[in-house]
Amino acid sequence: MNTEIQRDKWGIAHVTAPNQLAAFEAQGWIAAADRIWQMEFDRLRSQGRWGETVGAKAAREDAFFRRLGLADLAKQHWASLAPETKEITEAYARGVNRWLGSHEDELPEEFNYHSASPERWQPWHCLAVYKVRHIFMGTLNRKLWRGFLLAKGNPELLDAMRGCVDDSSTITTSALPGVEQLTDLSNLIQANAEQLRGLVDIDGGSNSWAISGSRTKSGLPLLAGDPHRGIEFPNAYHQFHMNCPEFNAIGLAFPGVPGFPHFGHNETVAWCITHGMADDTDLFVETDALEAVEWEVEDLVIRGEGSFEVYRGSTPRGPVVLGDPSQGAALSMAWTGMNGQDSTFDALLPMLKASTSEELEAAVEPWVIPVNNLLSADRDGHISFKVRGRVIERPHEHRWIPVPAETSEDWSNLVPVNFTDLPGESDPLRGYLVTANNQISDGGPYISLDFAGPARYDRIVQLIEELPNATAADMEVIHSDVVSLLAPSIISALTTHVTRFAHPLGQWLVDQLTGWDCALCEESVEASIYSVIRRRWAESVGERLGIATPELGGPKWPSPESASRMLYEAAMHLLVDGNWHLVPGLDSEEDLDVALSACIDETLEELEQRLGTDRSQWTWGRLHRMASPHPLASAVEEARHLHPPIDSCPGDSDTVRRGEVAPETGERSAAASVARYVFDLDDWDRSGWVVPHGVSGVRGEGHDMDQRADWLNCTLIPMAFTASAVEQVAAESFEI
């Protein structure tokens, strides 16, 4: 029997297959048709081979993945999966290769710049591309950056950058440990700073919320949210629908990965996640143990540069991934995705077949990476929250920075927290559940020190409380909200007792911010003022600390963009929490007055230079622009035309409609919602979704940008599920 495919008017594929293996084969076929270049990009990266295409720009990342042995890990973990899980990855690979076999002369333009055509897809590639999309979502970069700060020798300042976690904004109903070990480690890191290296990626964020039938118009739940990642083209998620006798499911997939790991629903239950922000990585400063490592040598091919040797080896704590061992110091790494078997994929098929929230949570017990806040809702009316993933509690001194190897505990005797002991909650009396990367629980096992602040969580709660009879349409209003609950405290700290500004508009600026409604909409002048002065303060703190350019192992490690984003967060904590006096040169309130007044003067001068002297034109939309970089176009000059257009957008890092900024890139939106969705448990066909570009990753294909306008307007397109609904939006039908 053939598999039938209908593409709707947005190009989204709806598959009807004779059995589950045919459904997964079709998913692989469609993924290749829509995203083969993106899949090849991730596959090459996971093997440390992206430099074969783009040259020296990929050398450091390639070396990292080679030393980590990510491809070998994927092969090993695939071999240990359950037989039925292997079968679905094999079916998926067959689909990819069937498409490649019949379209070798119709590959996307990106392959014109590659040194070779895409290789045949192997089942273990599914695990490799999934791992490469998640390895930087934990605490690797944050610990590297804090290690760099500690090398500057101020443990009290580093401790103060933790910020204040609001226990009232926990998802369920741990005190933060101290940093007594920081001082001893500072000298060690400083002594070896030239050898330490770091990698950079934007942390995954997200919002999600479940509303029970007691608060909805239909009497059945609504489940909604949006994942936040770095905006890029092609988009991280791929919309898809597959129906077979074993299950009928629709959702957002990762190109190269079977099923719907993060967002989707079948006929009776829906699920979604936010990043759990778990501390999933330890970094060990290795010295003496390096002499006993048995090193292997691999050739790293860099296009246009030749072949270079990469040394691979491990200490008892993990692979040596960063630094130059020949200099006597380097970093080894332990990560939940490589310590023990990664059985994440064993959850994918049971999720599709679950019929209730309870069954769905049982299905995800094998989950390892990353740690997620899983929300679900079923047609029996239940809503539920559960942490899924491998959580490993380590000593307090491991939780904040890299630690000295010789005096620290490795992971060999550490046991993951039992799944039943991970936080969870079902059917709360308040009638809703919300997650926004905030602190998960005020008790239970240690998860992290790096939760997001409560601003987005609290704002979503406020909006839900205003909806006694919520509908799917109301969820779009929540998605589009741009009010910052953090802004009032920042504005108060920025403007209170500021008297020493020299610019004639200084008092006008203070008055504007004081009377602002804290909505970062595109037409807001105050949003521009607020955002630029925040950046100016963060830059000022960085200059005073001598960390304007990270030096942890050399220029751009961590990258200036990632380091500036973390500095941006920390600088706000120091100001709002009253710990500004720990910054060198800010010894008194008079010093603070001078520093903040200078930020006001600089902000006004900058806005006049960038946007002109007409203050009514200083709107947020003119500054806050969303670039969607294409990875190949960013690395190869001749491919620059593959970048999508740049558009203005509202919001900032602390609003529900997120538009994260980093000082290094000014007010450009560096991360935002890479999808939005709402699942209506009363009528699946009232559900909706949207992505920033389109379902296709092929520039100029027609469905590469056809959801952009809806995404910018914060509206959803129909998520057709029933056969009749699919027929109404169908634009093309064929068989494979």
Run of H or E residues at 207 = strand 205-211
Q: How many whole angstroms separate alpha carbon 285 and alpha carbon 184?
A: 13
- Of 202-211, 493-502, 602-611, give the range with the top mean pLDDT: 602-611
Q: Quick one: pLDDT band at residue 327, thresholds 50, 70, 90?
A: confident
- The model's pLDDT over 256-283, given as tens digits with 9 standing for 90+, comes to 999 999 999 999 999 999 999 999 999 9
- The model's pLDDT over 410-433, given as tens digits with 9 standing for 90+, comes to 999 999 999 999 999 999 999 999
Whether the predicted pLDDT of 103 surpasses 60: yes
SS3 at position 280: coil
Contacts of 729 (CB under 8 A, 6+ apart): 8, 9, 10, 718, 720
Whether the predicted pLDDT of 188 surpasses 60: no
pLDDT of res. 316: 95
Contacts of 536 (CB under 8 A, 6+ apart): 599, 602, 603, 606
Whether the predicted pLDDT of 613 surpasses 50: yes
Q: How many whole angstroms separate alpha carbon 241 and alpha carbon 689?
A: 13
pLDDT of res. 165: 45
Question: Please, what is the average pLDDT of the chain?
Answer: 91
In this prediction, residues 336-357 reach a mean pLDDT of: 97
pLDDT of res. 307: 93
pLDDT of res. 444: 82
Q: Quick one: pLDDT band at residue 84, thresholds 50, 70, 90?
A: very high
- The model's pLDDT over 151-161, given as tens digits with 9 standing for 90+, comes to 776 777 777 77
Q: How many whole angstroms separate alpha carbon 413 and alpha carbon 316?
A: 12
- The model's pLDDT over 24-55, given as tens digits with 9 standing for 90+, comes to 999 999 999 999 999 999 999 999 999 999 99
Higher per-residue pLDDT: 663 or 260? 260
pLDDT of res. 584: 92
Q: Quick one: pLDDT band at residue 606, thresholds 50, 70, 90?
A: very high
In this prediction, residues 676-699 reach a mean pLDDT of: 98
- The model's pLDDT over 708-729, given as tens digits with 9 standing for 90+, comes to 999 999 999 999 999 999 999 9
Q: How many whole angstroms separate alpha carbon 599 and alpha carbon 618?
A: 17
Q: Quick one: pLDDT band at residue 208, thresholds 50, 70, 90?
A: very high
Q: Quick one: pLDDT band at residue 555, thresholds 50, 70, 90?
A: very low
User: Is there a contact between 562 and 200 (Cβ–Cβ < 8 Å)?
Assistant: yes
pLDDT of res. 146: 83
What are the C-alpha distances in Å from 553 to residues 59, 116, 145, 190? Answer: 15, 33, 11, 10
In this prediction, residues 333-361 reach a mean pLDDT of: 97
Whether the predicted pLDDT of 561 surpasses 80: no
Whether the predicted pLDDT of 97 surpasses 60: yes
Q: How many whole angstroms separate alpha carbon 489 and alpha carbon 540?
A: 19
- 178 CB-contact burial (10 Å; exposed 0-12 / middle 13-18 / buried 19+): exposed
Each domain of the chain, given as residue ranges in start order, spans 487-518+523-623
pLDDT of res. 548: 61
pLDDT of res. 559: 65
Q: What share of the chain is helix, strand, coil (3-state, %, to 5)?
A: 40, 20, 40
pLDDT of res. 107: 97
Q: How many whole angstroms separate alpha carbon 672 and alpha carbon 226?
A: 9
pLDDT of res. 179: 39
Model-level pTM? 0.94
In this prediction, residues 389-407 reach a mean pLDDT of: 89
- 104 CB-contact burial (10 Å; exposed 0-12 / middle 13-18 / buried 19+): exposed
pLDDT of res. 174: 33
Please tell me what DSSP assigns to residue 470.
B
pLDDT of res. 502: 95
In this prediction, residues 362-384 reach a mean pLDDT of: 98
**What percentage of the chain reaches a pLDDT higher than 90?**
77
The 10 Å Cβ neighbour count of residue 61 is 18
Residue 319 pairs in a beta bridge with 314
Higher per-residue pLDDT: 593 or 139? 593
Q: Quick one: pLDDT band at residue 554, thresholds 50, 70, 90?
A: very low
Sheet holding 318-324, edge to edge: 314-315, 318-324, 329-335, 281-286, 403-404
What are the C-alpha distances in Å from 386 to residues 30, 273, 367, 372, 420? Answer: 32, 10, 12, 8, 10
pLDDT of res. 497: 83
- The model's pLDDT over 110-144, given as tens digits with 9 standing for 90+, comes to 999 998 999 999 999 999 999 999 998 888 888 88
Run of H or E residues at 334 = strand 329-335
Run of H or E residues at 84 = helix 83-102
- The model's pLDDT over 510-521, given as tens digits with 9 standing for 90+, comes to 999 999 999 999
What is the CATH number assigned to the segment(s) 487-518+523-623? 1.10.1400
